[in-house]
């Protein structure tokens, strides 16, 4: 998803306010404070010299104190970690299910960002509950984790999180955007998803970001549906010097890189469809890639997102962000629930147990190859500091810069009925404003989200590890 460009005058997500750009008729210019010579007010030059000396002494003292504080902090940090790194087994950090789910998030209230420009407005929690576009529902249905032989007969009462949107008279839909209260620098994120928004003009996403410091702190798109797309993708968006080229062997993953093609020729501006390259440079301004394309890994399997996934009753998405032990970001998707690896299934089923001894520790290395693999961390082409301080975001947007711009290409049937000249975005908006029956399928249904972080421990020296 494009960022909330608060520093460019768009929505400020930290405070939920609009920050308008100053106009010529409404500027408040504050002159910087000037230290003028007091002799102009009748004081002597000696006074002026004394003033300068005092300022110099204060500046030196301030610098000394700051340096001392910095040294103390570094010593404190060194002692607290004492050589430990987050390379131990995974430990449960957060269980987000049922009634407790929304407590982990803030409801962003305001228009979509300039970066995505969706045809929707996000509403606060009270309004979302009033419209019933965010709710927790208890249902009794088949136990999806039961064996295939007993699944139909085994029924289970569970709570599900629903998020959707509502029409308005003016056109832009009222929708939901959740922004996590916790920040992460690494972790294992597992989503048990039973239904995701899908359809023409629909643009849902589950992602990690730090919008206020984008792209310096990066962005990870874990689940992002666009119109009728049916294949899962995972994308990283970063600052420069984060490149996967020659760092990701084919044997590390089952998927492949997306491609950058059709870019305008540098000299003529004509779209060049004869030249293409893998989208393996995560830099949002990477040359020979679309602006903000980032590095994009694509699943090789159909039906891993959108309507086909919903027909299978959803599935499990897992993202491992581990720059310390695996030195990689890896992504898996398991459509339906029949083929979920036993370790992953047992970890999900036991996560909410109050008895810690009964919780199964997830081990991604038991799940088979991921479809997406990004080399991140020491010794790779992307240092760990490209991705940090990010929070979880769920949102549901419509049309905008991605889904809207692809409207003619992805929605030919709808484009015959709703077309505003040659403008795909306005045409997409017209479709959404008509409140088509299709939008009844544009909702999230979530069983739970589970977050794990590795335990901190001292690395075992290689020579010691090899001893009997």
pLDDT at 50: 52
pTM: 0.82
DSSP assignment of 428-439: HHHHHHT--GGG
Give yes or no for a cis peptide into 45 (omega within 30° of 0).
no
Which residues on adjacent β-strands are paired with residue 221? 207, 235
The alpha-helical segments, DSSP class H, found in 306-388 are 306-311, 342-350
Q: How many CA atoms lie within 13 A of 382 on its CB side?
A: 34
pLDDT at 146: 85
Q: Which tens digit of pLDDT belongs to each residue from 339-374? A: 999 999 999 999 999 999 999 999 999 999 999 999
What is the token pair recorded at 121? 């407005």
What is the token pair recorded at 7? 């520093």
pLDDT at 380: 98
DSSP assignment of 207-268: EEE-GGGTTTT-EEEEEE--TT--S-EEEEEBSSSBB-TTTS-GGG-SSEE-EEEEEEPTTT
What is the token pair recorded at 175? 């929708």
3-state secondary structure of 199: coil
Whole-angstrom Cα distance, residue 239 to residue 250? Answer: 25
pLDDT at 464: 56
User: Which whole-number Å values give the CA distances from 172 to 120, 169, 219, 414, in the listed order?
Assistant: 4, 8, 26, 18
DSSP assignment of 273-322: EEEEEE--B-BTT-TTS-TT--EEEE-SSSSSSHHHHHHTT-EEEEEEEE
> What is the greatest pairwise CA distance in the chain?
98
pLDDT at 11: 36
What is the token pair recorded at 234? 């995972």
Mean pLDDT by 10 residues, the chain (468 residues): 38 37 35 30 42 53 53 44 91 98 98 95 98 98 77 83 98 98 98 98 98 97 98 98 97 97 79 88 94 96 98 98 98 96 98 96 98 98 98 98 97 97 98 97 98 94 59
């Amino acid at each position: 998803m494009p960022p909330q460009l608060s520093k460019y005058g768009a929505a400020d997500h930290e405070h939920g306010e609009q920050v308008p750009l100053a106009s010529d008729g409404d500027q408040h210019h504050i002159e910087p404070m000037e230290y003028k010579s007091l002799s102009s007010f009748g004081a002597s030059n000696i006074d002026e010299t004394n003033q300068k000396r005092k300022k110099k002494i204060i500046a030196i003292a301030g610098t000394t104190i700051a340096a001392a504080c910095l040294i103390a902090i570094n010593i404190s940090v060194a002692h607290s970690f004492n050589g430990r790194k987050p390379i131990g087994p995974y430990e449960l950090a957060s269980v987000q299910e049922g009634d407790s789910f929304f407590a982990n998030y803030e409801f962003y209230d305001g228009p979509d960002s300039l970066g995505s420009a969706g045809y929707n407005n996000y509403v606060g929690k009270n309004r979302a509950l009033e419209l019933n576009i965010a709710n927790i529902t208890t249902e009794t249905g088949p136990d999806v984790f039961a064996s295939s032989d007993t699944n139909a007969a085994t029924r289970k009462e569970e709570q599900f999180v629903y998020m959707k949107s509502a029409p308005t008279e003016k056109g832009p839909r009222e929708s939901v955007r959740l922004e996590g209260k916790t920040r992460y620098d690494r972790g294992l994120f597992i989503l048990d998803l039973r239904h995701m928004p899908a359809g023409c003009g629909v643009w849902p996403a589950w992602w990690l970001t730090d919008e206020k410091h984008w792209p310096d702190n990066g962005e990870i798109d874990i689940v992002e549906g666009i119109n009728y797309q049916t294949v899962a993708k995972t994308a990283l968006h970063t600052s420069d010097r984060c490149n996967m080229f020659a760092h990701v062997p084919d044997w590390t993953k089952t998927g492949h890189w997306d491609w950058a093609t059709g870019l305008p020729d540098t000299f003529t501006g004509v779209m060049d469809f004869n030249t293409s390259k893998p989208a393996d440079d995560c830099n949002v301004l990477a040359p020979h890639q679309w602006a903000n394309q980032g590095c994009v890994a694509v699943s090789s399997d159909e039906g891993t997102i959108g309507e086909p996934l919903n027909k299978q009753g959803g599935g499990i998405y897992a993202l491992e962000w581990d720059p310390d032990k695996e030195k990689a970001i890896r992504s898996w998707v398991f459509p339906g629930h029949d083929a979920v690896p036993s370790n992953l299934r047992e970890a999900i089923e036991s996560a909410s147990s109050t008895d810690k001894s009964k919780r199964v520790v997830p081990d991604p290395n038991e799940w088979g190859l991921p479809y997406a693999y990004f080399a991140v961390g020491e010794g790779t082409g992307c240092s760990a500091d490209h991705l940090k301080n990010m929070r979880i975001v769920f949102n549901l947007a419509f049309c905008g810069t991605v889904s809207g711009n692809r409207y003619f290409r992805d929605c030919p049937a709808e484009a015959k009925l709703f077309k505003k000249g040659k403008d795909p975005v306005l045409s997409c908006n017209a479709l959404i404003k008509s409140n088509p029956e299709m939008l009844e399928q544009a909702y999230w249904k979530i069983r739970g989200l589970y977050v794990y972080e590795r335990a901190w421990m001292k690395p075992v020296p290689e020579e010691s590890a090899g001893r009997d």
